[in-house]
Structure 1
């Protein structure tokens, strides 16, 4: 069949478009495609490049180009069916409802799928519709660009590992580890690749490259390659590729941020932000739960500020954290304001911890109730921000200020420690009548526990995003709870079987 005749056949074809998302499924839409055979061939070529968007072309039953001359109607139908399925995944997310991810809020209703479907069917260049769908989210381009770099490195063989060992200090020499470090960073740092090879010496050009890399990855940019930097440098390139694929899919059909004030805590980025719509009012470092006591992903509201909070120590904290200290030095624990209670005849009775042989207390079950007084030694500091939830998670002050200078800040028992709680207090107390700076200071200095409801409850979102986009640049953080890895496994699962390509 001549090309002109094939175009006429395609123009006269009524092609139903399959939509893979049930929430947006519509009856098959009969429409005549305006696309020429060349345009449909460009469409199938674009679909074979879906890896650029973090999707696998094998998922979409893309027809072979050789089928076009022999069966033009079948080719057109298969090409547009594959394109429709890809379009749905690009707009709504391949993983529609990620398991155990309440932080990923999709809004499918905000995606006008029927209009996109008609655009695809009626476009003279349907590949252009796929291109537009791939970049709907404002951060997609930056992540997609970083994904392209990672895929190119993977295709070129990836990067080598740096042998384990002590911290590599600027100015030091090591015939094995320093050349391995240099080779690793040359893969991603053009300035270092163009610099003279310093051999075994950890020279200034290499130190500057390490600092640039640390800055890009949200680590302390001191040029010292310790355990944290080494672990990140030695991550396989494939892990980075999958992390970026997950980041793209997470953002598809993302619900728009609500108007008004809210608090966002990005757990793997160890940061809290107070936003008012799209305007950032405050940003600070936080400490979050260690992997064994992960901070849960929550959508809650801050309702109350508690001044000078006492701490009712959870049983797990008493077993795992307090018991070893009691075994070492009971007096130092008591000096920090801890009180111990038992229940006798249904009533709580305080005991003297010095009378207990703590070495006989089993690690599996802590038999006492523990409470710490409010004060400078309190684990909760002087402020607690209450946001009611079933996990008893809250934001709070802490006397341990040095922790906020660490690049890894996942070592709390699940609650979130604040670097600058007084600045959050200023925002939380906005609009609360009768509470000026003088009264706040007097209350803090008085030491009494006081609860103050906020004037307007503030939404608090505890989210998990390891790909942070700022000023068009992507900064990747460690997958501390393994949630990206779990999402990547869901992403790779087969979808509903497609009609075989013709």
Structure 2
């Protein structure tokens, strides 16, 4: 009995000691930090993080990220080394102070505090919890503004339904601490277009700073300029073309010479005008858009780029529609294979900004009349004209109406389906003349394609059972025929009012749905000249 009691006593005393020992071992096992990160082998009290954000409430939005960061690093200082604040902290501070070059105009929280720290780095030799956590918060502030942009709910409120990229910036910081120069590279999966626009922005900002973007004056009596003409206006146009890189030098000549002609052809190519050497008042009106407006447009579209992951460009096949450009591009292996003009929705029937995978191509399709069109257009037409359906090649289909296949069908001879709740798809059209218009917002929301045969041929290119001849045969005769794609193709319908193409030309497009102003109102907090009423 005595032995049994002794055994119990031993268990009571030894077992808790073993748990304490295990707990100490668990707590003392540090999270592995990459060996090449030169940090202090010193930890701070984790409860100080909560205290810090009470002291700096404007940074509280980054508290979860900061906590995750230090949990990963076992609450070690990461912004200090044996010499004080590390190299990357200074680089980050300079980046934050130059956010305008990244297309961002916003208030930097506690800027005076940051200035005090980084203007006097020599006074920060000793590790400080406040300075440490301020630096981490500054990093997440920068990452949020430059890489992520405004939050998802706000983009949904702006009717932007393309999927937002999902990124974490906790692990990326390790790479930056090892190699600070990475912050200057095209990192973190931001759409490459962002960096192209950033270069244009910085060029336009320099022009704005010099103040040499002036209004081109035009005599109302002059209807056009052609090679050989001379006028003061010609010299002003030449200056504009030089500033925008359409020509390489400015001779200041008032004569419309061959150099100016080459510049005009470049200008028209980028502005979407018919490419010829005639200068019309509408071209000068385009040139006279204030540089402040151009800068605002670039910044707004850089923000849109932040929302899209560069991963989409890794798709083997991809279809992109840019609504303001009225253009569709089919990419294969990252290269444009088909480009086509498109017609998009009217302002009262806006084409939705979203993405979905294409699954089917339908040759000689029926057009099932949407309920809204049936009520507003078809039924009133039938009431006025009993032969309305026959005259429009339509028929009753149960309780609805559909248009029969054929060249007069409103969907044309082929449609491309990517099933979605918006009931939007790509299709041919018998109304070919609309593609000759500069502004092409005429549809009920779907997207009409100028080159549907070429698009179908390109999509079906790798199917040995199909060729251009068979595709043409299916489009030009027979009944409705459904083709199922062997591999789904992502379709992205986006909205960019400025774009830099593969040749480096900058294209500005009309804001057809007036979406830029709403986004600009969210972005520009400090620059009154960039704020505009909705």
TM-score by length of 1: 0.72
Aligned residue number for residue 225 of structure 2: 170
Query: How far apart, CA to CA, are the structure 2 residues paired with 1:290 and 1:373?
Result: 25
Establish whether residue 425 from structure 1 lines up as the match of residue 456 from structure 2.
Answer: yes
Cα RMSD over matched residues?
A: 4.6
In structure 2, relative to structure 1, the CA distance for the partners of 1:47 and 1:102 (3 Å cut) is same
**2:101 and 2:201 in contact (8 A); partners too:** yes
**1:217 and 1:476 in contact (8 A); partners too:** yes
In structure 2, relative to structure 1, the CA distance for the partners of 1:233 and 1:13 (3 Å cut) is farther
Deviation larger for 311-320 or 219-228 = 311-320
Aligned residue number for residue 184 of structure 2: 131
Task: Write the mapping of 1:358-377 to structure 2, written as runs, cut at 5 A.
Answer: 371-377=402-408
TM-score by length of 2: 0.68
Deviation larger for 202-211 or 260-269 = 202-211
Aligned residue number for residue 101 of structure 1: 160
Aligned residue number for residue 448 of structure 1: 479
Task: Write the mapping of 1:360-399 to structure 2, written as runs, cut at 5 A.
Answer: 371-399=402-430
Query: How far apart, CA to CA, are the structure 2 residues paired with 1:42 and 1:433?
Result: 55
Establish whether residue 306 from structure 1 lines up as the match of residue 362 from structure 2.
Answer: yes
Task: Write the mapping of 1:328-343 to structure 2, written as runs, cut at 5 A.
Answer: 337-339=392-394
Shift of 1:60: 4.3
**2:223 and 2:281 in contact (8 A); partners too:** no
Deviation per residue, 1:378-404 (Å, 9 max, x gap): 332211222322332221112333443
1:27 pairs, out of 34, 43, 68, with 68
Establish whether residue 160 from structure 1 lines up as the match of residue 218 from structure 2.
Answer: no
Structure 1 or 2, whichever has the larger Rg, is 2
**1:287 and 1:403 in contact (8 A); partners too:** yes
In structure 2, relative to structure 1, the CA distance for the partners of 1:56 and 1:224 (3 Å cut) is same
In structure 2, relative to structure 1, the CA distance for the partners of 1:96 and 1:203 (3 Å cut) is same
Q: How many residues align?
A: 452
Aligned residue number for residue 491 of structure 1: 523
Task: Write the mapping of 1:15-164 to structure 2, written as runs, cut at 5 A.
Answer: 24=65, 26-27=67-68, 29=70, 30-32=76-78, 33-34=80-81, 39=87, 43-56=92-105, 58-62=107-111, 63-65=114-116, 73=128, 78-79=134-135, 81-95=137-151, 98-99=155-156, 100-108=159-167, 111=168, 113-119=169-175, 122=177, 128=181, 130-132=183-185, 137=190, 138-157=192-211, 158-160=213-215
In structure 2, relative to structure 1, the CA distance for the partners of 1:334 and 1:299 (3 Å cut) is same
SS of alignment partner, residue 58 of structure 1? coil
**2:358 and 2:488 in contact (8 A); partners too:** yes
Aligned residue number for residue 241 of structure 1: 295
In structure 2, relative to structure 1, the CA distance for the partners of 1:222 and 1:106 (3 Å cut) is same
Deviation larger for 312-321 or 485-494 = 312-321
Shift of 1:242: 2.5
Structure 2: gaps spanning 5 or more residues: 1-38, 53-58, 71-75, 527-534
